[in-house]
Amino acid sequence: MNATKAKPATFLDTNFPVFTTEPHKVADLSAETVRFGRKELELALIEMPGLASLREEYKGKFPLKGAKIMGSLHMTIQTGVLIETLVELGAEIRWVSCNIFSTQDHAAAATVAGPEGTADDPKGVPVYAWKGETLSEYWWCTLQALNWEGGPNLILDDGGDATLLVHLGAEYENSGTIPSPDTATSDEHRIILKTLHAVREDKGDNFWRPMAANIRGVSEETTTGVMRLYERVEAETLLFPAINVNDSVTKSKFDNIYGCRHSLVDAIMRATDVLIAGKKALVCGFGDVGKGSIQSLQGQSARVSITEIDPICALQACMLGIDVVELDESVADFDIFVTSTGNKDIIRLEHMLKMKHNAIVCNIGHFDNEIDMAGVEDLVAKGECEKIEIKAQVHEFKFKNTTHGPNGKGHSIIVLAEGRLVNLGCATGHPSFVMSASFTNQTMAQIELHQNAEAYGKSVVVLPKHLDEKVARLHLDKFGAKLTTLSEDQASYIGVPQAGPYKGDAYRY
Ligand code: NAD
Ligand code: 3DD
């Protein structure tokens, strides 16, 4: 009698093998979806002069030859242009999205097909991403992109999830134990621990340390990911050098501000079709993203207020005629709520219970812990609130025990993208031109790490200012901007090199 062949282990509740042999996994690799994606990649490149210029500058030189880059960054059309720029510069790539709702499926398909391939004969890069992943599928995708013959030697991260998985994996292998999923502090934390247990069962207890040792560095895209890196420097647990791309001026003072100015109301309108003009809108946090979000809402003539903890940012708001309010006291006054703090527990259940009927609630920060989604989902589980899907990433939460809704019954709130970043969950994120500046910094950071990672030790650094100014220069022609030339005499008068950098490191743009 044949011994029954042991069924390969499946990964958590996904029914996927823990490690797949599939070269990619996307929602739809049909010819039409690939065509649509390829066309949008072509159009996007024209709007991404920084990346186009780097492709030209490094044509035939392959500065990233030998680089094996694992990318965890929203799989959008703009990211597709970044990926194909890195490939043109010589890199090998494996890619996932850094959010369960942010993938644009046609971008994923077109990136798998590649410029020389087709839906039937894909010649692009391995992408494991689709819009609407479950959390288990999300971490499965991250694991597949890291699982590479000989391992990746660079990471390009947005929010730090890929960096986190490698660090936790190596840490627990060193300590000899992986905490039980029962000790988890959230659903996502539980899934991460289960991921690490599944890997150990499948690959033993020396899978992550060799991978971590092979990784020469990471470039981090966003504020929250950078915060996590500095926490590791503080705790002396950072395993490899990191370049903080977010704090390039041509990233955070453009993407975080003008990108959100463009994409916040785009998302609210696509999700709800609500008139924003005249409505009272509250933005929690008045940093770069908060400033862009306020401008976005003001562009639609909303009446805007902010909350802040930082007196300097609060004073900036006052100077712009924006009210600075305290959420607990004013929650019932607003029609639209946007969190942009990079912090957690900003809008809590007690706030939701006091909100106007059909108030719109969304987050544009990186993670979904700014809004207490776990708290409101818990109320749904208890039967005290009904969750109604209006359409994908748009839900009505109908409270049963409040009395200020229609006919004195329970009120509702409309939550977008389930509390995840709304501009990528309910729209397509920032426009190509803005992402061009961010991704030109990313490409420069990857080249710097590939060429000089060991020079940085286990630290977090920012790209030098002359590269920041180079990124800005690469984007001026598109606007027909004409720079003034600084004379030698003027340069010495203000004490800067004639060719720049034109500002000191302490300068605040
Ligand atoms: P930032 O540090 O410049 O701004 C955050 C602001 O929130 C700060 O001014 C801080 O004082 C304030 N804040 C913190 N805790 C608060 C609280 N409890 N109440 C009120 N205000 C509080 O950061 P940023 O660059 O604006 O990024 C904010 C978030 O947005 C981060 O998670 C970042 O990763 C993310 N981000 C998202 C996008 C996007 O496209 N969705 C783009 C860039 C950055
Ligand atoms: N982000 C916003 N729009 C994006 C797009 N179209 N493609 C990729 C990523 C995009 C998020 C970025 O702003 C990222 O830099 C961040 O979160 O800071």
Flag whether pLDDT at 7 surpasses 80: no
Q: What Cα–Cα distance (Å) separates residue 430 from each residue in 81, 85, 273?
A: 14, 19, 19
Query: What pLDDT is recorded for position 80?
Result: 99
Flag whether pLDDT at 250 surpasses 60: yes
Mean pLDDT score of the chain: 97
Name the pLDDT band for 5 (thresholds 50, 70, 90). Answer: low
CA distance 217 to 459: 10
Q: Tell me which ligand sits closest to the C-alpha of residue 428.
A: 2
19: helix, strand or coil? coil
How large is the average pLDDT for residues 143-162? 97
Flag whether pLDDT at 1 surpasses 70: no
CA of 73 to the centre of ligand 2 (A): 8
Amino acid of residue 432: S
CA of 193 to the centre of ligand 2 (A): 27
Is residue 167 flagged as an active site residue? no
Evaluate the CA torsion angle 292, 293, 295, 299 in order and state its sign: positive
* CB of 259 closer than 6 angstroms to any ligand 2 atom: yes
Query: Which has more confidence, 1 or 284?
Result: 284
Q: Are 217 and 70 in contact (CB under 8 A)?
A: no
Is residue 251 flagged as an active site residue? yes
pLDDT above 70 covers a percentage of the chain that reads: 98
Name the pLDDT band for 6 (thresholds 50, 70, 90). Answer: low
Pocket test for ligand 2, best of 41, 83, 99, 102 (most atoms within 8 A of CB): 102
Pocket test for ligand 2, best of 43, 78, 82, 439 (most atoms within 8 A of CB): 78
Is residue 468 flagged as an active site residue? no
Residue of 194, 253, 351, 366 marked active site: 366
Cα of 421 vs its chain's centroid, Å: 8
Amino acid of residue 302: A
- The closest alpha carbon to 331, from 411, 390, 421, belongs to 411
Name the pLDDT band for 2 (thresholds 50, 70, 90). Answer: low
Flag whether pLDDT at 451 surpasses 90: yes
Query: What pLDDT is recorded for position 3?
Result: 56
290: Cβ–Cβ under 8 A, 6 or more apart, which residues?
A: 283, 284, 306, 308, 313, 340, 341
Ligand 2 atom with the shortest distance to the CA of 438: 15
* CB of 139 closer than 6 angstroms to any ligand 1 atom: no
CA distance 418 to 177: 33
Q: Are 231 and 160 in contact (CB under 8 A)?
A: no
Query: Which has more confidence, 266 or 8?
Result: 266
Query: What pLDDT is recorded for position 4?
Result: 60
Flag whether pLDDT at 165 surpasses 70: yes
Query: What pLDDT is recorded for position 480?
Result: 97
Is residue 253 flagged as an active site residue? no
Q: What is the pLDDT of residues 190-243, one digit of tens each?
A: 999 999 999 999 999 999 999 999 999 999 999 999 999 999 999 999 999 999
Residue spans of alpha helices (H) in 176-258: 187-203, 208-214, 223-235, 249-252
CA distance 92 to 70: 9
Hey, which residues does 156 pair with through a beta bridge? Answer: 71, 219
Confidence (pTM): 0.97
Evaluate the CA torsion angle 287, 442, 160, 269 in order and state its sign: positive
66: Cβ–Cβ under 8 A, 6 or more apart, which residues?
A: 90, 153, 450
Query: What pLDDT is recorded for position 102?
Result: 98
* CB of 308 closer than 6 angstroms to any ligand 1 atom: yes
How large is the average pLDDT for residues 356-373? 98
* CB of 343 closer than 6 angstroms to any ligand 1 atom: yes
Bond preceding residue 501 cis, omega within 30 of 0 = yes
Query: What pLDDT is recorded for position 122?
Result: 98
Query: What pLDDT is recorded for position 9?
Result: 77
The two structure tokens encoding residue 149: 């013959």
Q: What is the pLDDT of residues 319-347, one digit of tens each?
A: 999 999 999 999 999 999 999 999 999 99
Is residue 442 flagged as an active site residue? yes
Cβ count near 493 (within 10 Å) = 10
Q: What Cα–Cα distance (Å) separates residue 470 from each residue in 50, 452, 467?
A: 9, 20, 5
